[in-house]
A = this chain, B = another copy of it.
Amino acid sequence: MIIILKPHMGDDQIEQVISSLKAYDVAFDVSKGTDITVIGLVGDTSSVDREKVQTHPFVERVMSVSEPFKKSNRKFHPENTVVSVAGRQIGGKQLAIIAGPCSVETEQQICSIAEDVKKSGAMFLRGGAFKPRTSPYAFQGLEAEGLELLKIARTQTGLPIVTEIMSPKYVERFDTDVDVIQIGARNMQNFDLLKELGKTKKPILLKRGLANTIEEWLMSAEYIMAGGNTNVILCERGIRTFETYTRNTLDLSAIPAIKRLSHLPIIVDPSHATGSSMMVEPLAKAAVAAGADGLIIEVHNDPSCALCDGPQSIEPKAFERIMTQLRAYAELEGRTL
Protein backbone atom coordinates (compact mmCIF):
# COMPACT_ATOMS: atom_id res chain seq x y z
CA MET A 1 0.00 0.00 0.00
CA ILE A 2 1.27 3.43 -0.99
CA ILE A 3 0.23 6.54 0.94
CA ILE A 4 0.75 9.84 -0.83
CA LEU A 5 0.78 12.76 1.57
CA LYS A 6 -0.55 16.22 0.87
CA PRO A 7 2.07 18.67 -0.41
CA HIS A 8 4.61 20.28 1.97
CA MET A 9 4.27 17.92 4.93
CA GLY A 10 7.09 18.18 7.48
CA ASP A 11 8.72 15.38 9.47
CA ASP A 12 6.29 15.91 12.33
CA GLN A 13 3.32 15.37 10.11
CA ILE A 14 4.86 12.33 8.44
CA GLU A 15 5.44 10.91 11.91
CA GLN A 16 1.80 11.52 12.85
CA VAL A 17 0.55 9.58 9.85
CA ILE A 18 2.88 6.70 10.67
CA SER A 19 1.75 6.76 14.31
CA SER A 20 -1.85 6.42 13.25
CA LEU A 21 -0.90 3.13 11.56
CA LYS A 22 1.27 1.69 14.32
CA ALA A 23 -1.42 -0.83 15.25
CA TYR A 24 -0.85 -2.74 12.01
CA ASP A 25 1.96 -5.23 11.65
CA VAL A 26 3.66 -3.46 8.75
CA ALA A 27 6.91 -1.60 8.13
CA PHE A 28 7.17 1.90 6.67
CA ASP A 29 9.34 3.22 3.86
CA VAL A 30 9.26 6.99 3.62
CA SER A 31 10.35 8.61 0.37
CA LYS A 32 10.48 12.39 0.47
CA GLY A 33 10.60 14.47 -2.66
CA THR A 34 10.43 18.18 -3.22
CA ASP A 35 6.74 18.08 -4.05
CA ILE A 36 5.52 14.80 -2.72
CA THR A 37 6.17 12.52 0.20
CA VAL A 38 5.21 8.90 -0.16
CA ILE A 39 4.94 6.31 2.61
CA GLY A 40 5.14 2.72 1.46
CA LEU A 41 3.55 0.10 3.71
CA VAL A 42 5.51 -3.12 3.55
CA GLY A 43 4.38 -6.50 4.85
CA ASP A 44 0.88 -7.95 5.07
CA THR A 45 -1.31 -4.95 4.37
CA SER A 46 -4.49 -6.95 3.86
CA SER A 47 -5.75 -5.91 7.29
CA VAL A 48 -5.18 -2.20 6.66
CA ASP A 49 -8.40 -0.42 5.75
CA ARG A 50 -7.55 1.74 2.78
CA GLU A 51 -10.64 3.90 3.12
CA LYS A 52 -9.84 4.66 6.72
CA VAL A 53 -6.28 5.74 5.92
CA GLN A 54 -7.73 7.93 3.18
CA THR A 55 -9.55 10.08 5.73
CA HIS A 56 -6.41 11.15 7.60
CA PRO A 57 -6.16 14.91 7.22
CA PHE A 58 -2.54 14.77 5.95
CA VAL A 59 -3.21 12.08 3.34
CA GLU A 60 -3.81 13.01 -0.30
CA ARG A 61 -4.38 9.55 -1.72
CA VAL A 62 -3.94 5.87 -0.90
CA MET A 63 -3.15 3.29 -3.55
CA SER A 64 -3.20 -0.45 -3.26
CA VAL A 65 -0.36 -2.20 -4.99
CA SER A 66 -1.31 -5.74 -4.14
CA GLU A 67 -4.54 -7.38 -5.18
CA PRO A 68 -7.06 -7.80 -2.37
CA PHE A 69 -7.87 -11.40 -3.31
CA LYS A 70 -5.62 -14.08 -1.85
CA LYS A 71 -6.98 -17.61 -2.20
CA SER A 72 -8.17 -17.05 -5.76
CA ASN A 73 -4.94 -15.25 -6.74
CA ARG A 74 -2.71 -16.93 -9.27
CA LYS A 75 0.36 -15.36 -7.63
CA PHE A 76 0.00 -17.68 -4.67
CA HIS A 77 -1.30 -20.67 -6.66
CA PRO A 78 0.31 -20.64 -10.11
CA GLU A 79 -1.20 -23.86 -11.49
CA ASN A 80 -4.78 -23.98 -12.79
CA THR A 81 -7.47 -25.23 -10.47
CA VAL A 82 -9.38 -28.19 -11.87
CA VAL A 83 -12.76 -28.77 -10.21
CA SER A 84 -14.00 -32.37 -10.07
CA VAL A 85 -17.70 -33.01 -10.45
CA ALA A 86 -19.06 -36.54 -10.39
CA GLY A 87 -16.01 -37.93 -12.14
CA ARG A 88 -15.80 -35.09 -14.65
CA GLN A 89 -13.50 -32.10 -14.56
CA ILE A 90 -13.97 -28.39 -15.11
CA GLY A 91 -10.80 -26.46 -15.89
CA GLY A 92 -8.90 -29.39 -17.35
CA LYS A 93 -8.15 -30.26 -20.96
CA GLN A 94 -11.74 -31.07 -21.79
CA LEU A 95 -14.10 -28.14 -22.18
CA ALA A 96 -17.07 -28.24 -19.82
CA ILE A 97 -20.28 -27.89 -21.80
CA ILE A 98 -23.37 -27.32 -19.71
CA ALA A 99 -26.68 -27.26 -21.56
CA GLY A 100 -30.37 -27.32 -20.86
CA PRO A 101 -33.46 -25.18 -20.54
CA CYS A 102 -33.76 -21.94 -18.62
CA SER A 103 -36.57 -23.43 -16.52
CA VAL A 104 -37.48 -26.98 -15.70
CA GLU A 105 -41.11 -27.31 -16.83
CA THR A 106 -42.16 -30.96 -16.92
CA GLU A 107 -40.53 -34.35 -16.51
CA GLN A 108 -41.02 -35.03 -20.18
CA GLN A 109 -39.44 -31.68 -21.13
CA ILE A 110 -36.34 -31.90 -18.96
CA CYS A 111 -35.67 -35.57 -19.72
CA SER A 112 -36.09 -35.12 -23.44
CA ILE A 113 -33.78 -32.11 -23.55
CA ALA A 114 -31.28 -33.92 -21.33
CA GLU A 115 -31.19 -36.85 -23.76
CA ASP A 116 -30.77 -34.49 -26.68
CA VAL A 117 -27.92 -32.42 -25.25
CA LYS A 118 -26.17 -35.54 -24.02
CA LYS A 119 -26.27 -36.99 -27.52
CA SER A 120 -24.66 -33.83 -28.84
CA GLY A 121 -21.87 -34.08 -26.29
CA ALA A 122 -22.94 -31.92 -23.34
CA MET A 123 -21.27 -32.99 -20.10
CA PHE A 124 -23.72 -31.36 -17.68
CA LEU A 125 -27.43 -30.61 -17.58
CA ARG A 126 -28.62 -27.19 -16.51
CA GLY A 127 -32.18 -26.22 -15.63
CA GLY A 128 -33.73 -23.63 -13.37
CA ALA A 129 -35.96 -24.75 -10.51
CA PHE A 130 -35.86 -21.56 -8.44
CA LYS A 131 -35.95 -18.63 -10.86
CA PRO A 132 -34.94 -15.03 -10.11
CA ARG A 133 -37.50 -12.97 -12.04
CA THR A 134 -37.64 -9.18 -12.16
CA SER A 135 -41.41 -9.32 -11.73
CA PRO A 136 -43.21 -11.00 -8.84
CA TYR A 137 -46.02 -11.73 -11.31
CA ALA A 138 -43.81 -13.80 -13.64
CA PHE A 139 -43.34 -17.59 -13.40
CA GLN A 140 -41.02 -18.22 -10.45
CA GLY A 141 -39.96 -21.76 -11.35
CA LEU A 142 -41.25 -25.14 -10.17
CA GLU A 143 -39.01 -24.77 -7.09
CA ALA A 144 -38.66 -28.02 -5.05
CA GLU A 145 -40.60 -29.96 -7.66
CA GLY A 146 -38.19 -28.73 -10.31
CA LEU A 147 -35.26 -30.13 -8.32
CA GLU A 148 -36.94 -33.54 -8.26
CA LEU A 149 -37.43 -33.48 -12.03
CA LEU A 150 -33.77 -32.59 -12.52
CA LYS A 151 -32.82 -35.60 -10.41
CA ILE A 152 -34.97 -37.84 -12.58
CA ALA A 153 -33.25 -36.48 -15.68
CA ARG A 154 -29.87 -37.13 -14.06
CA THR A 155 -30.82 -40.71 -13.29
CA GLN A 156 -31.96 -41.26 -16.86
CA THR A 157 -28.95 -39.69 -18.59
CA GLY A 158 -26.13 -39.79 -16.07
CA LEU A 159 -25.54 -36.06 -16.61
CA PRO A 160 -24.60 -34.18 -13.43
CA ILE A 161 -27.01 -31.30 -12.76
CA VAL A 162 -26.34 -27.58 -12.40
CA THR A 163 -29.01 -25.31 -10.94
CA GLU A 164 -29.34 -21.97 -9.23
CA ILE A 165 -29.78 -21.37 -5.53
CA MET A 166 -31.50 -18.21 -4.31
CA SER A 167 -31.60 -18.46 -0.54
CA PRO A 168 -29.35 -19.70 2.29
CA LYS A 169 -32.26 -21.77 3.55
CA TYR A 170 -31.83 -24.24 0.68
CA VAL A 171 -28.09 -24.81 1.03
CA GLU A 172 -28.43 -28.17 2.75
CA ARG A 173 -30.91 -29.45 0.19
CA PHE A 174 -28.84 -28.31 -2.77
CA ASP A 175 -25.71 -29.78 -1.18
CA THR A 176 -27.44 -33.15 -1.14
CA ASP A 177 -29.32 -33.02 -4.44
CA VAL A 178 -27.28 -31.01 -6.89
CA ASP A 179 -23.87 -31.51 -8.52
CA VAL A 180 -22.94 -27.90 -9.19
CA ILE A 181 -24.69 -25.05 -7.35
CA GLN A 182 -25.07 -21.90 -9.40
CA ILE A 183 -25.04 -18.40 -7.93
CA GLY A 184 -26.82 -16.04 -10.30
CA ALA A 185 -25.64 -12.59 -11.34
CA ARG A 186 -28.09 -10.86 -9.00
CA ASN A 187 -26.77 -12.77 -6.00
CA MET A 188 -23.04 -12.37 -6.70
CA GLN A 189 -22.79 -10.08 -3.69
CA ASN A 190 -25.35 -11.86 -1.52
CA PHE A 191 -22.63 -12.33 1.04
CA ASP A 192 -24.69 -14.42 3.43
CA LEU A 193 -25.38 -16.93 0.71
CA LEU A 194 -21.70 -16.98 -0.30
CA LYS A 195 -20.66 -17.64 3.30
CA GLU A 196 -23.09 -20.52 3.66
CA LEU A 197 -21.84 -22.10 0.44
CA GLY A 198 -18.27 -21.66 1.65
CA LYS A 199 -19.07 -24.15 4.41
CA THR A 200 -19.87 -26.91 1.90
CA LYS A 201 -17.47 -28.68 -0.43
CA LYS A 202 -19.86 -28.52 -3.37
CA PRO A 203 -18.64 -27.04 -6.70
CA ILE A 204 -20.03 -23.50 -7.06
CA LEU A 205 -20.67 -21.83 -10.41
CA LEU A 206 -20.32 -18.12 -9.60
CA LYS A 207 -21.81 -15.83 -12.23
CA ARG A 208 -20.44 -12.33 -12.59
CA GLY A 209 -22.81 -9.61 -11.40
CA LEU A 210 -24.36 -7.29 -13.95
CA ALA A 211 -22.40 -4.30 -12.72
CA ASN A 212 -19.47 -5.92 -11.03
CA THR A 213 -15.82 -5.49 -11.83
CA ILE A 214 -13.51 -8.42 -12.28
CA GLU A 215 -11.93 -7.60 -8.94
CA GLU A 216 -15.27 -7.63 -7.10
CA TRP A 217 -16.08 -10.93 -8.77
CA LEU A 218 -12.88 -12.49 -7.47
CA MET A 219 -13.65 -11.04 -4.03
CA SER A 220 -16.96 -12.90 -4.10
CA ALA A 221 -15.09 -16.09 -5.01
CA GLU A 222 -12.87 -15.22 -2.06
CA TYR A 223 -15.90 -15.27 0.27
CA ILE A 224 -16.58 -18.89 -0.71
CA MET A 225 -12.93 -19.92 -0.60
CA ALA A 226 -12.28 -18.18 2.73
CA GLY A 227 -14.90 -20.52 4.18
CA GLY A 228 -12.95 -23.54 3.02
CA ASN A 229 -14.62 -24.38 -0.28
CA THR A 230 -12.10 -23.98 -3.10
CA ASN A 231 -14.33 -25.56 -5.78
CA VAL A 232 -15.29 -22.32 -7.49
CA ILE A 233 -15.99 -21.98 -11.22
CA LEU A 234 -16.41 -18.46 -12.58
CA CYS A 235 -18.96 -17.67 -15.27
CA GLU A 236 -18.92 -14.53 -17.46
CA ARG A 237 -22.50 -13.68 -18.53
CA GLY A 238 -22.42 -10.13 -19.78
CA ILE A 239 -22.35 -6.79 -18.02
CA ARG A 240 -24.80 -3.92 -18.09
CA THR A 241 -23.88 -1.10 -20.45
CA PHE A 242 -25.65 1.64 -22.39
CA GLU A 243 -26.11 -0.65 -25.44
CA THR A 244 -29.67 -1.94 -25.75
CA TYR A 245 -29.41 -4.09 -28.88
CA THR A 246 -28.20 -7.00 -26.76
CA ARG A 247 -29.60 -7.76 -23.31
CA ASN A 248 -26.12 -7.28 -21.81
CA THR A 249 -22.63 -6.84 -23.21
CA LEU A 250 -20.58 -10.04 -23.15
CA ASP A 251 -17.09 -9.17 -21.89
CA LEU A 252 -14.80 -11.79 -23.41
CA SER A 253 -11.71 -9.87 -22.25
CA ALA A 254 -12.66 -11.20 -18.82
CA ILE A 255 -11.25 -14.56 -19.94
CA PRO A 256 -7.60 -13.51 -20.40
CA ALA A 257 -8.01 -11.19 -17.39
CA ILE A 258 -9.14 -14.02 -15.11
CA LYS A 259 -6.50 -16.36 -16.54
CA ARG A 260 -3.83 -13.85 -15.55
CA LEU A 261 -5.23 -12.89 -12.15
CA SER A 262 -6.58 -16.19 -10.91
CA HIS A 263 -6.16 -19.95 -11.10
CA LEU A 264 -9.92 -20.61 -11.12
CA PRO A 265 -11.66 -22.00 -14.21
CA ILE A 266 -13.88 -19.64 -16.19
CA ILE A 267 -16.78 -20.52 -18.45
CA VAL A 268 -19.02 -18.32 -20.59
CA ASP A 269 -22.81 -18.00 -20.94
CA PRO A 270 -23.52 -16.60 -24.41
CA SER A 271 -27.28 -17.16 -24.07
CA HIS A 272 -28.00 -14.85 -21.12
CA ALA A 273 -25.30 -12.37 -22.13
CA THR A 274 -26.91 -11.56 -25.45
CA GLY A 275 -30.52 -12.61 -24.95
CA SER A 276 -30.54 -13.63 -28.60
CA SER A 277 -30.49 -17.13 -30.02
CA MET A 278 -28.79 -16.06 -33.25
CA MET A 279 -25.78 -14.82 -31.29
CA VAL A 280 -25.17 -18.06 -29.38
CA GLU A 281 -23.14 -19.74 -32.10
CA PRO A 282 -20.72 -16.92 -32.98
CA LEU A 283 -20.10 -15.99 -29.36
CA ALA A 284 -19.74 -19.61 -28.19
CA LYS A 285 -17.00 -20.07 -30.79
CA ALA A 286 -15.43 -16.76 -29.79
CA ALA A 287 -15.41 -17.75 -26.11
CA VAL A 288 -13.57 -20.98 -26.89
CA ALA A 289 -11.10 -19.10 -29.08
CA ALA A 290 -10.47 -16.64 -26.25
CA GLY A 291 -9.57 -19.47 -23.88
CA ALA A 292 -12.75 -20.25 -21.95
CA ASP A 293 -12.84 -23.53 -19.99
CA GLY A 294 -16.41 -24.22 -20.95
CA LEU A 295 -19.81 -22.90 -21.93
CA ILE A 296 -23.29 -22.85 -20.50
CA ILE A 297 -25.91 -22.78 -23.23
CA GLU A 298 -29.68 -22.60 -23.08
CA VAL A 299 -31.39 -25.33 -25.09
CA HIS A 300 -35.14 -25.80 -25.28
CA ASN A 301 -37.13 -28.20 -27.40
CA ASP A 302 -39.65 -25.47 -28.23
CA PRO A 303 -38.21 -22.00 -27.61
CA SER A 304 -41.42 -20.25 -28.59
CA CYS A 305 -43.23 -22.05 -25.78
CA ALA A 306 -40.52 -21.76 -23.15
CA LEU A 307 -41.91 -20.40 -19.87
CA CYS A 308 -39.02 -17.95 -19.65
CA ASP A 309 -36.13 -16.68 -21.72
CA GLY A 310 -37.39 -18.09 -24.98
CA PRO A 311 -35.69 -15.55 -27.24
CA GLN A 312 -32.23 -16.73 -26.29
CA SER A 313 -32.87 -20.48 -26.34
CA ILE A 314 -31.81 -22.64 -29.23
CA GLU A 315 -33.32 -25.93 -30.33
CA PRO A 316 -31.51 -29.24 -29.82
CA LYS A 317 -30.73 -29.39 -33.54
CA ALA A 318 -29.00 -26.02 -33.45
CA PHE A 319 -27.12 -27.11 -30.35
CA GLU A 320 -25.91 -30.22 -32.15
CA ARG A 321 -24.65 -28.13 -35.06
CA ILE A 322 -22.85 -25.73 -32.72
CA MET A 323 -21.20 -28.61 -30.85
CA THR A 324 -19.89 -30.04 -34.11
CA GLN A 325 -18.30 -26.71 -34.91
CA LEU A 326 -16.96 -26.15 -31.42
CA ARG A 327 -15.02 -29.41 -31.60
CA ALA A 328 -12.73 -27.91 -34.25
CA TYR A 329 -12.23 -24.70 -32.27
CA ALA A 330 -11.47 -26.64 -29.11
CA GLU A 331 -8.86 -28.62 -31.00
CA LEU A 332 -7.12 -25.45 -32.15
CA GLU A 333 -6.85 -24.47 -28.50
CA GLY A 334 -5.41 -27.86 -27.57
CA ARG A 335 -8.65 -28.80 -25.85
CA THR A 336 -11.23 -31.51 -26.33
CA LEU A 337 -14.96 -31.37 -26.13
The yes or no answer to A78 lying at the interface (CB within 8 A) is: no
List the B side residues contacting A35 at CB < 8 Å: 42-43, 66
The yes or no answer to A19 lying at the interface (CB within 8 A) is: no
Indicate if the CB atoms of B166 and A169 lie closer than 8 Å.
Answer: no
A-B pairs, top 4 by smallest CB distance, nearest first, are A211-B211, A33-B42, A55-B310, A31-B31
Chain B residue at smallest Cβ distance from A220 = B134
The yes or no answer to A10 lying at the interface (CB within 8 A) is: no
List the B side residues contacting A286 at CB < 8 Å: 252, 286-287, 289-290
Chain B residue at smallest Cβ distance from A325 = B332
Q: A192-B166, A256-B282, A282-B256 are known contacts. Are A134 and B216 too (CB-CB below 8 A)?
A: yes
Q: Indicate which residue in B135, B211, B308 contacts A240 across the interface (CB closer than 8 Å).
A: B211
What are 22 A-B pairs at a CB distance below 8 A?
A33-B40, A38-B65, A47-B137, A52-B310, A55-B310, A68-B137, A134-B189, A136-B191, A136-B222, A137-B222, A186-B190, A213-B244, A215-B245, A239-B241, A239-B243, A242-B242, A245-B257, A249-B251, A250-B251, A256-B278, A285-B289, A286-B289
List the B side residues contacting A310 at CB < 8 Å: 49, 51-52, 54-55
Interface residues of A in 245-290 (CB under 8 A from B): 245-246, 249-253, 255-257, 260, 273-274, 276, 278-279, 282-283, 285-290
Chain B residue at smallest Cβ distance from A38 = B40
Indicate if the CB atoms of B241 and A242 lie closer than 8 Å.
Answer: yes
Taken together as a complex, chains A and B put the C-alpha atoms of A49 and B135 apart, in Å, by: 11
Report the minimal beta-carbon distance from A76 to chain B, rounded to whole angstroms: 12
Q: A2-B2, A310-B52 are known contacts. Are A223 and B136 too (CB-CB below 8 A)?
A: yes
Taken together as a complex, chains A and B put the C-alpha atoms of A216 and B211 apart, in Å, by: 14
Report the minimal beta-carbon distance from A271 to chain B, rounded to whole angstroms: 12
Give the interface SS of chain A, mostly helix, strand, loop or mixed. Answer: mixed
> 1/0 per residue A307-335: CB within 8 Å of B?
11111010000000000010011001000
The yes or no answer to A230 lying at the interface (CB within 8 A) is: no
Indicate if the CB atoms of A34 and B38 lie closer than 8 Å.
Answer: no
Q: A33-B42, A190-B190 are known contacts. Are A55 and B303 too (CB-CB below 8 A)?
A: yes
Report the minimal beta-carbon distance from A241 to chain B, rounded to whole angstroms: 5
Taken together as a complex, chains A and B put the C-alpha atoms of A243 and B250 apart, in Å, by: 12
Taken together as a complex, chains A and B put the C-alpha atoms of A325 and B325 apart, in Å, by: 17
Indicate if the CB atoms of B213 and A242 lie closer than 8 Å.
Answer: yes
Q: Which of A56-64, A81-89, A155-163 contacts B (4 or more CB under 8 A)?
A: A56-64
Interface residues of A in 170-203 (CB under 8 A from B): 186-187, 189-193, 195
The yes or no answer to A74 lying at the interface (CB within 8 A) is: no
Report the minimal beta-carbon distance from A199 to chain B, rounded to whole angstroms: 13
The yes or no answer to A226 lying at the interface (CB within 8 A) is: yes
The yes or no answer to A219 lying at the interface (CB within 8 A) is: yes
Indicate if the CB atoms of A55 and B304 lie closer than 8 Å.
Answer: yes
The yes or no answer to A80 lying at the interface (CB within 8 A) is: no
Q: A223-B136, A245-B213 are known contacts. Are A282 and B255 too (CB-CB below 8 A)?
A: yes
